Structure 1
Amino acid sequence: MAETFTHRLRVRYSECDQQGVVFNGHYLFFYDVALTELWRAVIGPYTDILEQGYDLVVAEARIRYREGARFDDLVDVRMPIAKLGTTSMVVRPEFRVGDRLMADGEMVHVFIEPATKRKTEIPPDVRKALEPYLVDGA
């Protein structure tokens, strides 16, 4: 069974809209924070990757909104990795408050060479570090 990295965030007042729920665009920000923390926990500081000659860019982002998280809620961002391809990875984040699913989605990232912006293979050490988080059957 795969491990699932989870990062917890507290909803701030400024992240809520006039309906009193988290504004939809903030879920992508929450995801980005969780991805950075996943990276830090299993690979190291994100800033090191440029020095190693690669970077990670978003190729596709989809979020399905189920229920609105509210001010002061603790949102757990679960980060199951659905696929590690040759040059890309797919993460299917889940945003939960307790047992309630607030939103979920799919994010496709492509590994690139920073200077040329061309796709590059996932570095072997990165692949090895992320494999424990690859969901079963992927």
Structure 2
Amino acid sequence: MGDHAPSESERESDGPAFQPVFENRVRFAETDQQGIVFYGEYFTFQDEAVSAFFRGLGYGYDDMLEDGWQIHVVNTELNYRAGAEFEDVIVNELRVADIGTASLEYEYRATRKHDDEILADGTVTQVAVDLETEEPTRIPDEFRDAVAAFQGGLESDE
């Protein structure tokens, strides 16, 4: 961790641009005995990035419920690249990398604000579920359109 500075190709891949969705300043309570952010905290940051992304879309959890569906996390992965310390400001970025009929895959990235170093990156996979049947359901076009508008494009498996 931290020995390898990512190349430009590692920082940017094909597809829509990452969207900076929120910043957080590292609190003392988020650090471990080594003085860096405890690895588990990045899962919380990643989850908050998804919520902030929805707010940025203007199509949040309440809108999903009103439209008769919700979203369930089925997988999440994180890679740790470098350590963040107390008082560092972390920029949390997200993009929908792929959208299928009933599933979405987000790519997440956390960078240190003052030097743009990637601290962690990973993915979150979610499945759309019908509120009544609790079965997978098609992601509504309104949500797809909001994602495409917010991030400047959309990769789709449909």
Do both proteins adopt the same fold according to a TM-score greater than 0.5, normalized to the shorter chain? yes
Instruction: State the AA in 1 paired with 2:92.
Output: V
* Change in 2 beyond 3 A, CA 1:50/1:134: same
Ranges in structure 2 where 5+ consecutive residues have no aligned partner: 1-14
Shift of 1:22: 0.9
State, as a whole percentage, how many aligned pairs show the same letter.
31
1:9·1:76 contact (CA, 8 Å) conserved in 2? yes
User: How many angstroms apart in 1 are the aligned matches of 2:153 and 2:59?
Assistant: 21
The residue that corresponds to 1:46 in the other structure is 61
Cα-to-partner distance string for 1:21-45 (whole Å, 9 max, x where unaligned): 1111111111111111110121344
The residue that corresponds to 2:3 in the other structure is none
SS in 2 for 1:92: strand
User: How many angstroms apart in 2 are the aligned matches of 1:129 and 1:45?
Assistant: 10
The residue that corresponds to 1:9 in the other structure is 24
TM-score (norm 2): 0.79
* Residue correspondences, number: 138
2:111·2:119 contact (CA, 8 Å) conserved in 1? yes
C-alpha root-mean-square deviation of aligned residues, in Å? Answer: 2.0
The residue that corresponds to 2:12 in the other structure is none
Ranges in structure 1 where 5+ consecutive residues have no aligned partner: none
The residue that corresponds to 2:131 in the other structure is 114
SS in 2 for 1:47: helix
TM-score (norm 1): 0.89
Cα-to-partner distance string for 1:41-77 (whole Å, 9 max, x where unaligned): 2134423322221111111111000111111111111
Alignment of 1:104 with 2:121, yes or no, is yes
Shift of 1:106: 1.2
The residue that corresponds to 1:82 in the other structure is 97
* Change in 2 beyond 3 A, CA 1:96/1:19: same
Equivalent positions of 1:19-38 (< 5 A) are 19-38=34-53
Which of these two proteins has the greater Rg computed from alpha carbons? Answer: 2
Instruction: State the AA in 1 paired with 2:26.
Output: V
1:79·1:93 contact (CA, 8 Å) conserved in 2? yes
Shift of 1:17: 1.0
Cα-to-partner distance string for 1:70-89 (whole Å, 9 max, x where unaligned): 11111111102210111111
Alignment of 1:127 with 2:144, yes or no, is yes
